[in-house]
Amino acid sequence: MADKAFDDGHVTVNGYNLYFKSFGNEEKGTVLTVHGGPGLTHDYMLSIADLAQYGYRVVFYDQLGCGKSDLPKNIALYTIDRAVEDLEGFRDAMNLGKVHMLGSSYGGLLAIAYALIYQKHLKSLVTTGGIDDMELTISEMMRMKSELPKDVLATMAKYEEAGEYTDPEFAKVLEPFYKTYFCRLDPWPKELVYSMEHVSPVVYNTMNGPNEFTIIGNIRHWKVSQEQLHTIHVPTLVTCGKYDEVSPKVAKSIHRGIEGSKFVMFQNSSHLAMWEEREKYIQVVTNFLDNIGKKKASSRKIKR
């Protein structure tokens, strides 16, 4: 991550204050990042601030109920529809204009949902471990879970049957899944640890559920059809890790749906290629964004 000074503060969006952090200047454009969870903080995405070294302004924000943003207790506020409107409200309140939107995990889902309504405000779309179909995502997670050691599965089953998802021993037995399919680095980056330790229980439990593969919250049945994806016409980069908890099958579904999209799978990564293969990830995203700029410049030259 670039160790340069950053701007941060709060902006009011739909009646609540959302925290932001901004790196670099917009010489080549603005990258608006969308974090996952639901319920994490923006911090685990901070390696993407490396893009500031290549001429991009990189803006992070904490979604409603997360991190340093307002934390209302009304769970009716925590829906995908509301999050999309907050994302658009944040872009507008920050005067960002047309942006390159980069969403990670649930943030990739949110970026797709945003593009279906507001793609006129996008220069491009990037999803990293993003989601277009929760049923497929859950099915693939169950497959990955089934491949864990039998003793781990037996212990998991004991706590799941008792509904004791918050028991420290259950959290410990989840480690093999997280270290295989979520982040394969050892130790985890401090920014990721911070986000995990400061997850919003209200948002996470309401929208997702008690853990990564027990998805019983209100995003459980969310799905975008291939026909809907076909309506997205902005330049799109779809990425995932080879061992991603959001299976490469999901990423390939997004890639199939968005005509002309580019697909990149990081061979040594699980869910967080921006850390697991940081240098390569930044280069892939930079090349994608720079190429958009070159194509537009070439188009303008031809029109003259």
Out of 35, 100, 255, 271, pick the active-site residue.
Answer: 271
Cα–Cα nearest to 68, from 40, 28, 47: 40
85: exposed, middle or buried (Cβ count in 10 Å: 0-12, 13-18, 19+): middle
Q: Are 90 and 119 in contact (CB under 8 A)?
A: no
Out of 22, 47, 69, 105, pick the active-site residue.
Answer: 105
Q: Are 48 and 274 in contact (CB under 8 A)?
A: yes
Count Cβ atoms below 10 Å from residue 286 Cβ, excluding itself: 17
Out of 50, 62, 133, 244, pick the active-site residue.
Answer: 244
3-state class of 31 per DSSP? strand
66: exposed, middle or buried (Cβ count in 10 Å: 0-12, 13-18, 19+): buried
Question: How many angstroms separate the CA atoms of 14 and 40, rounded?
Answer: 20
Q: Are 234 and 119 in contact (CB under 8 A)?
A: yes
Count Cβ atoms below 10 Å from residue 106 Cβ, excluding itself: 28
Is 244 catalytic? The answer is: yes
Q: Which residues contact 73 (CB under 8 A, 6 or more apart)?
A: 202
Is 10 catalytic? The answer is: no
Is 50 catalytic? The answer is: no
Residue type, 131: I
Question: How many angstroms separate the CA atoms of 157 and 270, rounded?
Answer: 24
- Active site positions, annotated: 105, 244, 271
